[in-house]
Amino acid sequence: MKLSLNSQSNLFRAVLSILAGFVIVGVLLKMSGYSPLQCYQALAEGATGIRSGKPINLSDRGFYIGSWQGNFSPYTFAQTLATITPLLFCGLAIALGLRAGLFNIGALGQMTLGAMTAAFVGAIGAHGSLKPVAGSLPHWAHVPLALLAGAVAGGLWGALAGYLKAKRGVHEVLSTIMLNYIALNLANYLAMHNLKDPNPSNMAAQTGLIAKSAWLTPIVAQSSLTVGLLLAVAAAVGVAFLLWRTALGYEIRAVGLGAEAARTAGIPVSQILIKTMAMSGALAGVAGALEVMGIHHRFVQGTAGDYGFDGIAVALLGGSHPFGIVLSASFFGALGNGANFMQIQTDVPKTIAVVVQAIIVLLVGLRFRRTESAKPLVLAEKEGRKDG
């Protein structure tokens, strides 16, 4: 794999941004009357499942931690790993777009439609009125089929934004935002009307349960951790392979770094944009399908959560590199699950994690340069002589 020469400085920048984010939020916490250290300790405990200091009894605060193994709660750690899964998929989705020079803000919508479609396909053979096809499928066929359905739905939704960008010139940020709202409402409509849970006692917008044959079994009892995490890591390797070992990936990077030069070299830029958005949407769609198959076993309103937007932070912190994204998704997964834990333990609203995330995004994006070197570099090449 090609490693950029300044990857070390990128890592340094990322670590610095994270530290700065915690310091700034620490000040905010202090100002609103909390003890930052206590908060961060709770955060760390929630993230790792390892308790430090005096043992805390959380069950009376309504937070399930499963069984302890010494000072370690496998369940809590498994929840962190489970949170990493959709973050990793969405981060990869957004990074793939960024490699082609596209800001895919639409992971939310793509994930939502992926989830809804997986719920629909997953219902094959289920009890109740939500049955696309009569008969049932074996586990080994049903799981891939539902995942594939999620990928296709997310991919098509992404490809739509890609088409609008490539052929109609609609900026992808605007189109994907609009497509997010449409997808959310569309999925909720289906969950409320045509595909509504047949159980009459249920008023909320949600579908019926999917067939058992499409369920993913948790790796740690009761947790949300499934084989999905392995799929996510495999996807990271796959995206890396795509970008640096395939002709398509080469073309994606060419379009992202110099669309005009790519076009001049005969690369069909429009097609590349559409394909990239389709693949990006497919990754987000799989994330949605996994949420349905591994956690809720049905589509519920808000299945996609904030993962679509968190993915932006994941991709940027990870430097749009698949392996960097594995690290940054791990970090944000830990942050997210830790914040849940912290909210229970210290009453700090978990939304504070979003503030940390925002500060990291802003700091990691900073590119200070000496004012002069940017443009004259080109002029200098033209005007000057190579020095030595």
Partner 1 sequence: MEWVPKRWKPSKTRSPREVCSLRNESKVGYNLLMSAPPQNRDEMNENSPPEYAVRMENITKRFPGVVANQQVALRVQAGAFHAVIGENGAGKSTLLNILYGRYQPDSGRVFLHGREVTQSLHSPADAIRNGVGMVSQHYALIPALTVLENVLLGAEPTGFGGVLKCRAAITRIHELANQLQIASLDVNQRADSLSVAAQQKVEILKALYRGANTLLLDEPTATLAPQEAESLFTLLRNLVEKGTTVLFVTHKLREVAAHSHAVTVLRAGQNAGDFITSETNEAELLHCMIGARSNSAGQPLIPFGDVTETEGYAGDTWAATRPAVSGSPLLQIEAVTVRNSRRVEVVKSATLELMHGEIVGVAGVDGSGQRDLAEAILGLQTVSIGKIFLEGSEITRDTVAQRYQKGVAYIPEDRHRSGMILDFSVTENYTLGHHRQDNWGGGTLIHPPIMTAHTAAMIQQYDVRISELGALIPARSLSGGNQQKIVVARAMQSAPKLLIACQPTRGLDVEAARFVYRTLEQARREGLGILLFSLDLEEILQLSDRVAVMFNGRIVTVLSTAQATPEEIGAWMTGAKTGGTEA
Partner 2 sequence: MGNGWLMALVTSTLFNATPLALAAMGGVLSERAGVVNIALEGFILLGAFVGFYFGLHSVFMGVLAVVVAGALFGLLHAFFTQKARMNPVVSGLGLNLLIAGATRYLALRLFPQGDHIAGLSPNLFLSLAAVLPFLLVFTLQQTKFGLRLRAVGENPESARMAGISPTLPRYMAVMLSGVCASIAGAYLSMADAHTFTSDMSAGKGYVALAAVIFGKWNPLGAAGGALFFGFFYALQTQLQINQYHLNWLGVEWTSPFLLDCLPYAMTLLALVSVIGRATPPAALSQEE
- How many angstroms from the chain centroid is the CA of residue 328? 11
| Dihedrals phi, psi of 133, to nearest 5 degrees | -135, 145
Specify the residue, 173 or 248, whose C-beta has the smaller distance to partner 2: 173
Is residue 368 near partner 1 by the rule CB under 8 A?
no
Residues 72-131 that bind partner 2 (CB under 8 A): 103, 105
Task: Count CB-CB contacts under 10 A for residue 385.
Answer: 6
Exposure string for 162-177, b = 16+ CB within 10 A, e = fewer: bbbbbeeeeebeebbb
Q: Which of 54, 55, 369, 387 binds partner 1 (CB under 8 A)?
A: 387
Report the C-alpha gap between 301 and 147 in whole angstroms.
19
Q: Which of 44, 145, 192, 327 binds partner 2 (CB under 8 A)?
A: 192
When CB distances are held under 5 to 8 angstroms depending on the partner's kind, the choice from partner 2, partner 1, none that residue 344 binds is none
Please list the alpha-helical segments (H only) found in 138-171.
Answer: 139-168
Report the C-alpha gap between 81 and 335 in whole angstroms.
11
Task: Count CB-CB contacts under 10 A for residue 330.
Answer: 19
Shortest distance, CB of residue 251 to partner 1, whole angstroms? 7
Q: How many residues bind partner 1 (CB under 8 A)?
A: 35
Q: Which of 175, 276, 303, 330 binds partner 2 (CB under 8 A)?
A: 175
Asked if residue 100 lies in contact with residue 256, where contact means CB atoms within 8 angstroms, the answer is yes
Residues 189-248 that bind partner 1 (CB under 8 A): 245-248
Exposure string for 94-112, b = 16+ CB within 10 A, e = fewer: bbbbbbbbbebbbbbbbbb
Residues 161-200 that bind partner 1 (CB under 8 A): none
Report the C-alpha gap between 93 and 131 in whole angstroms.
31
- Which range touches partner 1 (CB under 8 A), out of 70-78, 87-95, 195-203, 376-384? 376-384
When CB distances are held under 5 to 8 angstroms depending on the partner's kind, the choice from partner 1, partner 2, none that residue 181 binds is partner 2
Q: Is 203 exposed, middle or buried (0-12, 13-18, 19+ CB in 10 A)?
A: exposed
- Which range touches partner 2 (CB under 8 A), out of 115-123, 149-157, 161-169, 378-386? 161-169
- Which range touches partner 2 (CB under 8 A), out of 125-133, 141-149, 312-320, 326-334? 312-320
Shortest distance, CB of residue 359 to partner 2, whole angstroms? 7
Is residue 260 near partner 1 by the rule CB under 8 A?
yes
Report the C-alpha gap between 118 and 292 in whole angstroms.
7
Q: Which of 45, 172, 197, 251 binds partner 1 (CB under 8 A)?
A: 251
**128 SS3 class:** coil
**371 SS3 class:** coil
When CB distances are held under 5 to 8 angstroms depending on the partner's kind, the choice from partner 2, partner 1, none that residue 258 binds is partner 1
Residues 100-159 that bind partner 1 (CB under 8 A): none
When CB distances are held under 5 to 8 angstroms depending on the partner's kind, the choice from partner 1, partner 2, none that residue 386 binds is partner 1
Is residue 268 near partner 1 by the rule CB under 8 A?
yes
Residues 328-387 that bind partner 2 (CB under 8 A): 349, 351-355, 357-359, 361-362, 365-369, 374-375
Asked if residue 199 lies in contact with residue 208, where contact means CB atoms within 8 angstroms, the answer is yes
- How many angstroms from the chain centroid is the CA of residue 168? 27
Asked if residue 43 lies in contact with residue 25, where contact means CB atoms within 8 angstroms, the answer is no
When CB distances are held under 5 to 8 angstroms depending on the partner's kind, the choice from partner 2, partner 1, none that residue 32 binds is partner 2
**133 SS3 class:** coil
Q: Which bin fits 135, alpha (ψ -120 to 50), beta or left (φ > 0)?
A: left
Task: Give the binding site for partner 1 (CB under 8 A).
Answer: 2, 245-251, 253-254, 257-258, 260-268, 372-373, 376-387
Residues that bind partner 2 (CB under 8 A): 28, 32, 103, 105, 164, 168-171, 173-175, 177-179, 181-182, 185-186, 188-189, 192-194, 205, 309, 312-313, 316, 349, 351-355, 357-359, 361-362, 365-369, 374-375
